[in-house]
Amino acid sequence: MMIRHPGWHIVAEATDDTGDVVSAEPPGDGDIGEIEARIREVLSTLRTQNFVSSRSLSVVVRSTIPFHCGFGAGTQLSLATAMAATLLDGRPRPDATALSVVLGRSQRSAIGTFGFEHGGCLIDDGEGVPSDRSRVCAVPVPDSWRLVIVRRTDRSGLHGSGERAVFAQELQMAPDDLNRMQCLIHDAVIPALHEGDFGTFAAELERYGRIVGEFFASAQGSCFSDPLVHDIADALHARQLPGPVQSSWGPAVAVPADSMEHAEEIVRVVQSAAGNNEVVTRITEPLPHGATIRSTAPEQCSYRTLG
pLDDT band at 29 (very low <50, low <70, confident <90, very high): low
Q: Tell me if the pTM is above 0.75.
A: yes
Q: Which amino acid is at 154?
A: D
pLDDT band at 124 (very low <50, low <70, confident <90, very high): confident
Q: Is 194 exposed, middle or buried (0-12, 13-18, 19+ CB in 10 A)?
A: exposed
More confident residue, 276 or 305: 276
For the segment 237-260, the average pLDDT, to the nearest whole number, is 95
Residue 243 neighbours by CB under 8 Å, 6+ apart: 202, 206, 233, 236, 237, 255
In a domain, 129, yes or no: yes
Considering the domain architecture, whether residues 264 and 187 belong to the same structural domain is answered as yes
Q: Is 179 exposed, middle or buried (0-12, 13-18, 19+ CB in 10 A)?
A: exposed
* pLDDT surpassing 90 at residue 30: no
Over the stretch 166-177, which tens digit does the pLDDT of each residue have?
Answer: 777 877 888 999
Give the chain's mean pLDDT.
88
Prior bond of 298 cis (ω within 30°): no
Considering the domain architecture, whether residues 146 and 279 belong to the same structural domain is answered as yes
Which among 93, 102, 161, 166 has a CA at the least distance from the CA of 131? 102
- Number of structural domains in the chain: 2
For the segment 172-193, the average pLDDT, to the nearest whole number, is 93
In a domain, 151, yes or no: yes
- Centre a 10 Å sphere on the Cβ of residue 6 and count the other Cβ atoms it contains: 22
Nearest 5°: phi and psi at 180? -60, -45
Say what the pLDDT of residue 170 is: 73
pLDDT band at 18 (very low <50, low <70, confident <90, very high): confident
In a domain, 1, yes or no: no
* pLDDT surpassing 60 at residue 300: no
Q: Which amino acid is at 301?
A: C
Considering the domain architecture, whether residues 301 and 240 belong to the same structural domain is answered as no
Considering the domain architecture, whether residues 156 and 72 belong to the same structural domain is answered as no
Give the least confident one: 26-30, 60-64, 198-202.
26-30
Considering the domain architecture, whether residues 168 and 188 belong to the same structural domain is answered as yes
pLDDT band at 271 (very low <50, low <70, confident <90, very high): very high
Q: 169: domain CATH number? A: 3.30.70.890
Say what the pLDDT of residue 108 is: 61
The CA distance from 23 to 216, in Å, is 37
* pLDDT surpassing 60 at residue 79: yes
Q: Which domain does 43 fall in, by range?
A: 9-135+288-305
Considering the domain architecture, whether residues 151 and 278 belong to the same structural domain is answered as yes
Overall size of the chain counted in residues: 307
pLDDT band at 186 (very low <50, low <70, confident <90, very high): very high
Considering the domain architecture, whether residues 146 and 258 belong to the same structural domain is answered as yes
In a domain, 52, yes or no: yes
Considering the domain architecture, whether residues 87 and 201 belong to the same structural domain is answered as no
Cα diameter, the chain: 61
Say what the pLDDT of residue 301 is: 44
Considering the domain architecture, whether residues 130 and 149 belong to the same structural domain is answered as no
For the segment 63-68, the average pLDDT, to the nearest whole number, is 91
Say what the pLDDT of residue 127 is: 62
Share above pLDDT 70 across residues of the chain, in percent, rounded to a whole number: 90
Say what the pLDDT of residue 159 is: 72
Considering the domain architecture, whether residues 128 and 166 belong to the same structural domain is answered as no
Give the least confident one: 13-22, 247-256, 295-304.
295-304
Considering the domain architecture, whether residues 111 and 87 belong to the same structural domain is answered as yes
